[in-house]
C-alpha cells in the first residue's frame, strides 16, 4: 500500500496568527524542551506557561498567548499540594483564580514513557481531554533508559512527536542541563543525547549567573528573541517569574540609567523557599544566598518573627 502524498503547492498554509501558542515564546503545536541546571526555576516557567495558555494571560507577564485552551500537566518530582500552591501563586500574580483555569493534573504516582501500558494510558487521557498543551516535568522521572544513548532516547521523543501530530497539541518537556555547561549553547548543554536538542521546535533555556536568571529562546522555524532577564517575584501569596526591564543605554555620560535594585537577603531567602519543593535547612540557604551564617541567622529570625516564613523540624518554608 502506498503512503499518502500531496503536491507541495497544495499543502495547507498556516495563517500568521496561528504561528504561535505563546507569542515569541512557544510555537503553535510545537514540541520542545524547557531546560536548565537544577534550581533555575524550570518548573516555575513550565507552570507559568500552563497558566498563560489556560487563563489567557501573558506568560512571564510579557508574552501573550495567541491561543488558549486546556492544559494537561504531569509533575513527577513535586507533591500535589506543592503543584497546587505554585499554580495558585502564579495565577494570583496574573490576577486569576486557579479554580477558573482549565488545568488538569495527572495524579498517577508514575508515568513511564518506556512502558507500553503507561504510553497507552497517556494517549487515552489525551484523546479524552484534548489538551492544547501537554507539560511533562521532568524527563528524567519518565523512564529508566540511558539518556546518553540516542537509540534509547529517540523512540520516546518520537512517541511524543506522534502525540503532537495526532492530537494537534503542543508538548513542553522539562529537562536538566549538564553541570558545567554554562559556557555552551543552551541546546548543547542539555544532559544526555543530542536527540533532545534536535527534537525541539521551540526550546527555552534557563541559566543562572550568581543572582541573575536569564532565559534564552530558540525556534526551529522562527527568529529567536534576545535573551531575557527574569526574577522570581513575591507579593504575598502570589509567587511567579517575571521579566526584568532593562533600560536603554544612556546617550551621554550625564544621562546614567539607574541599575535595577539589588534584592535584599530577605527577598533572596523568600525566593529560594518559594522555588523549593520542600523546606530548606539554614545550611542550604546559606549556600544558595552566598552569605555568612550570622547574617543569615538574623535574617531568618526576622522573617519568622514577621510571619513571612515558618520554621519546621526539617527546615524553613514559606508561610501559607
pLDDT tens per residue across span 86-112: 999 999 999 999 999 999 999 999 999
Residue in 114, 202, 204 with CA at minimum distance from that of residue 154: 114
The pLDDT value recorded for residue 262 is 67
The pLDDT value recorded for residue 186 is 57
pLDDT at 260 exceeding the cut of 70: no
The pLDDT value recorded for residue 299 is 83
Which domains are present in the chain? 19-243 (3.40.50.300), 265-318 (1.10.10.10)
Helix (H) or strand (E) holding 105: strand 103-105
The pLDDT value recorded for residue 298 is 82
The pLDDT value recorded for residue 51 is 98
pLDDT tens per residue across span 226-239: 999 999 888 877 88
pLDDT tens per residue across span 182-235: 555 556 679 889 999 999 999 999 998 877 899 999 999 888 899 999 998 888
Output 90 or 180, whichever has higher pLDDT: 90
The pLDDT value recorded for residue 185 is 58
- Complete DSSP assignment for 242-286: EE---PPPPSSTTSPPPPPPPPPHHHHHHHHHHH-SS-B-HHHHH
pLDDT band at 124 (very low <50, low <70, confident <90, very high): very high
Give the global pTM.
0.77
Amino acid at each position: 500500500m502506498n503512503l499518502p502524498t500531496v503536491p507541495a503547492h497544495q499543502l495547507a498554509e498556516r495563517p500568521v496568527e496561528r504561528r504561535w501558542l505563546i507569542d515569541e515564546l512557544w510555537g503553535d503545536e510545537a514540541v520542545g524542551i524547557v531546560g536548565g541546571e537544577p534550581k533555575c526555576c524550570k518548573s516555575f516557567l513550565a507552570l507559568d506557561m500552563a497558566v498563560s495558555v489556560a487563563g489567557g494571560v501573558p506568560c512571564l507577564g510579557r508574552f501573550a498567548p495567541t491561543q488558549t485552551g486546556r492544559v494537561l500537566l504531569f509533575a513527577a518530582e513535586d507533591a500535589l499540594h506543592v503543584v497546587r500552591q505554585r499554580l495558585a501563586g502564579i495565577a494570583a500574580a496574573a490576577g486569576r483564580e486557579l479554580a477558573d483555569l482549565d488545568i488538569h493534573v495527572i495524579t498517577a504516582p508514575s508515568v513511564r514513557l518506556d512502558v507500553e501500558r503507561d504510553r497507552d494510558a497517556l494517549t487515552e487521557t489525551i484523546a479524552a481531554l484534548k489538551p492544547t498543551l501537554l507539560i511533562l516535568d521532568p524527563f528524567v522521572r519518565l523512564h529508566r533508559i540511558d539518556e546518553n544513548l540516542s537509540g534509547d532516547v529517540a523512540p520516546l521523543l518520537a512517541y511524543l512527536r506522534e502525540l503532537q501530530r495526532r492530537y494537534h497539541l503542543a508538548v513542553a518537556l522539562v529537562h536538566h542541563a549538564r553541570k558545567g555547561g554554562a559556557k555552551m549553547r543552551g541546546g548543547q548543554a542539555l544532559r544526555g543525547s543530542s536527540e533532545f536538542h534536535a527534537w525541539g521546535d521551540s526550546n527555552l533555556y534557563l541559566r543562572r549567573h550568581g543572582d541573575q536568571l536569564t532565559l534564552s529562546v530558540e525556534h526551529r522555524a522562527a527568529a529567536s528573541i534576545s535573551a531575557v532577564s527574569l526574577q522570581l517575584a513575591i507579593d504575598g501569596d502570589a509567587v511567579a517569574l517575571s521579566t526584568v526591564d532593562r533600560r536603554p543605554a544612556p546617550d551621554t555620560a550625564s544621562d546614567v540609567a539607574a541599575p535595577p535594585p539589588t534584592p535584599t537577603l530577605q527577598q533572596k531567602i523568600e525566593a529560594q523557599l518559594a522555588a523549593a519543593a520542600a523546606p530548606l535547612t539554614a545550611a542550604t540557604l546559606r549556600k544558595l544566598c552566598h552569605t555568612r551564617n550570622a547574617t543569615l541567622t538574623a535574617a531568618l529570625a526576622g522573617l519568622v518573627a514577621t510571619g513571612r516564613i515558618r520554621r519546621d523540624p526539617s527546615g524553613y518554608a514559606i508561610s501559607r
